[in-house]
Amino acid sequence: MFSRVALYNAAIAAYLSGQVEVAEGAAPPFVAAFDGGVPLRYGENPHQSAVFYKRHQPGEACIADCTILHGKEMSYNNYLDGDAALEVARELAGSTGVAIIKHSNPCGYATGATLREAMEAAWAGDSVSAFGSVIAVTRPVDLETAEFLKDRFVEVLIAPDFEAEALEFLKAKSKQIRLLILRQPLQAAKPSPVLRQIQGGLLVQDRDLGLSAHWMTPTSEAFPEEKRGLADFGIKVCKHVKSNAIVIVNEYQPDQYMLLGMGAGQPNRVDALRKLAVPRAEATLAEQGRERDSVLAESILVSDAFFPFPDNIEEAARAGIRFIIQPGGSRKDEDVVAACDDHGIAMAFTGMRHFKH
């Protein structure tokens, strides 16, 4: 009873705090209510205890508001990766898409004419990292998609629904796989606060909803309008990769896109490109039996933040990249543009950074 009264009081406080004027440069008190907690087996590591608290009214499809149809209880890390999977999957709401997550980073991401096609393309983006992954899809899981996962180890599969045959197939495949169904429709992200606890405090920011603030091509080579769909796809996945982030994306079928390679979480942006994104893209193409040079020449490289020096451009040119997307805004933009012109690279500025920490 007391916890329910507390939830009620929190709702009143949250509403009233928004009605009161505060001094310039200040913010009203932040109040959030969560339902009673559910103890988890352990936290991020076995020696850490953990509890899951659900927001009183989530308001949209989310990992906190799913029904578990099959499998073990969710772990702390499952919740983190499930949240990451749904955040990047909802970028493809309205289309047929698949997001494969490992340690909160998208290692596979693709659209397809069918869910099976999207799943195959997403898995091909990094088949090694996809082992033991958490997957979110934008369409009901059918039998063809379920059969693709037959001999592949997946921790969690989150979907709007499961066709009856697919559900029975996946249940028979493994007692361990967690099959989750969303209780609300998967839609594009809505404006909402993002909370990040630090020791002794709480950081609150707006959700990163945008793709670009503007679209400008500063290079001599114009950025082809027919590649805007692929460019948007690349920004959608790049904004969910831990910074510093570089992704390489490709149109593998007409109007269908996939992540070829990415470099995540690097303090050095050159390393994210040279040591991670490019080698991963090359490995993906080799595994698919696709010709390296011609595919990379038609792919797009996306960076979550500006290039402070031309060194990334030199590395991209060495890899055979001809199209680049980045926010722009560096003091060295002129040098970066000049390097692109030297190598015949078309580059677009979006005016919007997408750091993710």
pLDDT tens for the 357 residues of the chain, in order? 555 665 566 566 656 666 666 666 777 888 888 887 999 999 999 999 999 999 888 889 999 999 999 999 999 999 999 999 999 999 999 999 999 999 999 999 999 999 999 999 999 999 999 999 999 999 999 999 999 999 999 999 999 999 999 999 999 988 889 999 999 999 999 999 999 999 999 999 999 999 999 999 999 999 999 999 999 999 999 999 999 999 999 999 999 999 999 999 999 999 999 999 999 999 999 999 999 999 999 999 999 999 999 999 999 999 999 999 999 999 999 999 999 999 999 999 999 999 999
pLDDT at 357: 93
Per the DSSP assignment, residues forming a β-bridge with 302 are 247, 325
Domain(s) labelled CATH 3.40.140.20 in the chain stretch across 63-185, 209-349
pLDDT at 35: 83
Radius of gyration, alpha carbons of the chain:
22
Look at residues 251, 312, 261 and name the one whose alpha carbon lies nearest to residue 283. Answer: 261
Look at residues 251, 295, 287, 309 and name the one whose alpha carbon lies nearest to residue 113. Answer: 251
pLDDT at 32: 80
pLDDT at 27: 79
Residue type, 141: V
pLDDT at 7: 58
Separation of alpha carbons 52 and 271, rounded Å? 36
pLDDT at 36: 79
Cα three-residue angle 317-321-324, rounded to 5 degrees: 100
pLDDT at 152: 95
pLDDT at 1: 54
Neighbouring residues of 281: CB distance < 8 A, sequence distance ≥ 6: 248, 260, 261, 296, 299, 319
pLDDT at 19: 66
Reduced to 3 states (helix: H, G, I; strand: E, B; else coil), residue 40 is coil
**What's the CATH number for 209-349?**
3.40.140.20
DSSP summary character for residue 162: B
pLDDT at 26: 74
Residue 211 phi, psi dihedral angles, 5° rounding: -110, -50
Quickly list DSSP for 280-339: HHHHHHHHHT--HHHHHHH-EEEESS--SSTHHHHHHHHHT--EEEE----TTHHHHHHH
Class of domain 63-185: alpha beta
pLDDT at 123: 98
End-to-end CA distance of the chain: 38
